[in-house]
Structure 1
Amino acid sequence: MFNYLIVGCGLSGVTCARLLAEKGKKVLIVEKRNHIAGNAYDFYNNDGILVHKYGPHIFHTRFKEVWDFLSRFTQWRLYQHRVLTYIDGKLVPMPINIDTINILYGTGYNSLTIHDFYDKVKRKDINIQNARDMVISKVGEELYEKFFKGYTKKQWDLYPEELDKEVTARIPIRYNRDDRYFSDKYQGIPLYGYTEMIKNMLDHENISVLLQTDYKDIQDEIKYDRMIYTGPIDYFFDFVFGKLPYRSLRFEEETLNMEYYQKVATINYPNDYDFTRITEFKHLTGQKSNKTTIMKEYAKSEGEPYYPIPTQENKELYDLYKREAKILDGVYFIGRLGKYKYTNMDVVVKEAMELIDEIE
């Protein structure tokens, strides 16, 4: 007899499980994949390089309580992520900052004069309706074309004007030379990897894990009081209103006989090639090796669900499922798939902590 059945062994399910176990609750986690850790899963490849199987995961948060909680289960490699973007044959910092502008245009702006540049190019007269409007209201048409239009089309197979303004609302535009991708107070990579951290979180006598199992195959045989569901919400309801659309990814991995392939962990390619970005994992992990592994990412429409597609139509479809979910007693929907919302790892953990506070 379990107090809780948790569907999904990613970060939100595991956080719930650990907090419940520490409150004396018996928990069973059921996971359809053959490994723990969800999309944060990492492993050592044949050449000994620690690789993130489902694309790069960089942990960053402003929430001290989230950092402190996870720090119980891992030491950190204090790492601050830097991204370059390949534009017009040049590698420039992303998010756009003073150096991005100066490299692209051969100008000499500084922190006092950069405001003049943005004021000159941004569209002030625009009624912001979509993701395109949001960008050009900040940086104007030309930078939108160079940085955002092609990347968005590759990533979503939709142009920015077809996506909600929220997609680009949080894109920072820097008025300084800060070239870090994130500016949160706490940033890092688990020293021995995400899988190891999550293994430590699961290491409790009150937690049992069942891999390679669809919860629907066993839920009638397992006795439990309540369920926390982190899988796709439409699957839970047998797609009664139709399938929620997602973008998926295809990864192409290559190990090369060189110490480093590129200057930073991630380089974006908004306009050239079919892939969206190349990641080199040794920059993230700090490993020393005379080989290096890179990963190219291609967005696609079919496959594992990665990114909920933020359109008004999809939001309305999700709302139908959300209404059904609210009627249920003793079932809680959480995480990126359970809430049909792209969410950073720290927010996933924070929402799991808040859910357990609320229900226990």
Structure 2
Amino acid sequence: MARYCVVGAGLSGAVVARALGEAGHSVVVVDERARIGGNCATARDPATGIMEHLYGPHIFHTSDESVWAYVQRFCAMAPYAHRVQAVARGRVYALPVNLLTINQFFGMTMSPSEAQAFIRSKTRPCEAPRNFEEQALAMIGRELYEAFFEGYTRKQWGMSPTRLPASILKRLPLRFTYDDSYFAHRYQGMPKDGYSAMVASILDAPNVDLRLAQGFEALGEPFAHVFYSGPLDRYFDYRLGRLNYRTLDFEKFHAEGDYQGTAVLNYCDADTPFTRITEHKHFAPWEKDAFDRTICYRETSRACGPDDIPYYPIRLAEEQKLLRDYIALARATPGVSFMGRLGTYRYLDMDVTIGEALTASQRLLTMIAEGATPPAFFVDPA
């Protein structure tokens, strides 16, 4: 029986490993961390019992019915509607920018049509915005941009918004209603027992040999094929240089009662060093009243060093050439396929990660049955 290796016990690795195992193939899943789940790992805080998102909050949201059905095979999804508040210039507002935000900020009581016309008068038309700032000025105008996005973006990305692509802001909606839901997807929720339990259930499949706290490089055994969800540049020992990421520092603290009354409070002003505070019992509203104490994280973004956890691929112009060179190197390397956020150097939401892994799994099993060689990439990362 052919033996396969999956590097990484996060979402991509778990989905592909289960597909291989259920199809009767022997598969080793290896992860250098001592826990499963990748950056969406969760665990109960020993001091309070609150479910923590160990590497920052992850909210499951999707409009893909097949992905929603898939995750519900492995966990009970509890209803959760994500909302974000923001501190700007000493006041608290709702994000994304909506009719309430606009009326509060400008001290007015406009109707939807009045607000649309008002914001249109504030914007700077631009048919093809070249960067984040041009997109913001065309979308919401200078005053809202400077209050909510300019300082926060500089802190999050460590550079001027004029160097960032317009696509980053396009992810956020602008609403002329009082709808302050952060996501507009049809399905939203949280796994009731946490993401680590969900991933453990996915990996609980026949023919799957899970090895934690062990590096792929130390396995020292041959495999028919390797499915690699670690950093693309790391696989090649950074021989072409390092792809750039942003990483996060978390300052965890406990408090009595309810610290901020919401799951996420952004701090938009540039002179506040951190980007946000997350209060984790609010990510599980079905149980938050059971806890007399609370746990919070102050979150600060900075450049990712060699020993840091990579979170956000930067993908600026200078990274594009290096990425293309690594893609060419990967395609010339037999016996390995690169998957997931790190393996393809893309920012991916969880539902997209799972959806791509499911599609890759279907294609993979067909190729194995036909004796074909899996490609270096199932999704073009360029």
TM-score, normalization by structure 2: 0.91
Q: Distance in 2 between matches of 1:279 and 1:212?
A: 28
Query: Deviation at 1:321?
Result: 0.5
Q: Distance in 1 between matches of 2:261 and 2:104?
A: 16
The share of aligned pairs that are identical, in percent, is 37
Query: Deviation at 1:2?
Result: 5.2
Query: Is contact 2:126-2:134 (8 Å) kept?
Result: no
1:164-183 matches, cutoff 5 A: 164-183=165-184
Q: Which amino acid aligns with 1:289?
A: F
1:35-80 CA deviation, whole Å, 9 max, x = no partner? Answer: 1110011111122111111010100001010010010000011101
1:155-166 matches, cutoff 5 A: 155-166=156-167
1:75-103 CA deviation, whole Å, 9 max, x = no partner? Answer: 01110100001112111111100000111
Give the equivalent residue in structure 2 for 1:146.
147
Gap runs ≥5 in structure 1? none
Give the equivalent residue in structure 2 for 1:358.
363
Give the equivalent residue in structure 2 for 1:124.
125
Q: Distance in 2 between matches of 1:158 and 1:105?
A: 28
Query: Is contact 1:131-1:168 (8 Å) kept?
Result: yes
Report SS of the residue matched to 1:224: coil
Query: Deviation at 1:125?
Result: 4.2
Give the equivalent residue in structure 2 for 1:93.
94
1:296-328 CA deviation, whole Å, 9 max, x = no partner? Answer: 101121311111113111122111101111223
Query: Is contact 1:42-1:193 (8 Å) kept?
Result: yes
Q: Distance in 2 between matches of 1:265 and 1:41?
A: 17
Give the equivalent residue in structure 2 for 1:266.
264
Give the equivalent residue in structure 1 for 2:334.
329
Query: Is contact 1:164-1:312 (8 Å) kept?
Result: no
Gap runs ≥5 in structure 2? 366-382
Give the equivalent residue in structure 2 for 1:344.
349
Give the equivalent residue in structure 1 for 2:38.
38
Report SS of the residue matched to 1:275: coil
Q: Which amino acid aligns with 2:90?
A: G
Q: Which amino acid aligns with 2:300?
A: Y
Query: Deviation at 1:126?
Result: 6.1
**Partner residue of 2:298 out of 296, 299, 303:** 296
Query: Deviation at 1:186?
Result: 0.5
The 3 A distance-change label for structure 1 pair 178 and 226 is same
Q: Distance in 1 between matches of 2:83 and 2:31?
A: 33
Report SS of the residue matched to 1:112: helix
Query: Is contact 1:2-1:223 (8 Å) kept?
Result: no
1:144-163 CA deviation, whole Å, 9 max, x = no partner? Answer: 11111111111111111111
Q: Which amino acid aligns with 1:103?
A: Q
Q: Distance in 2 between matches of 1:328 and 1:357?
A: 22
Give the equivalent residue in structure 2 for 1:222.
221
Query: Is contact 1:167-1:310 (8 Å) kept?
Result: no
Query: Deviation at 1:340?
Result: 0.6
How many residues are treated as equivalent by the alignment?
357
Query: Is contact 1:126-1:133 (8 Å) kept?
Result: no
Which runs of 4 or more aligned residues in structure 1 lie more than 3 Å from their structure 2 counterparts after TM superposition? Answer: none
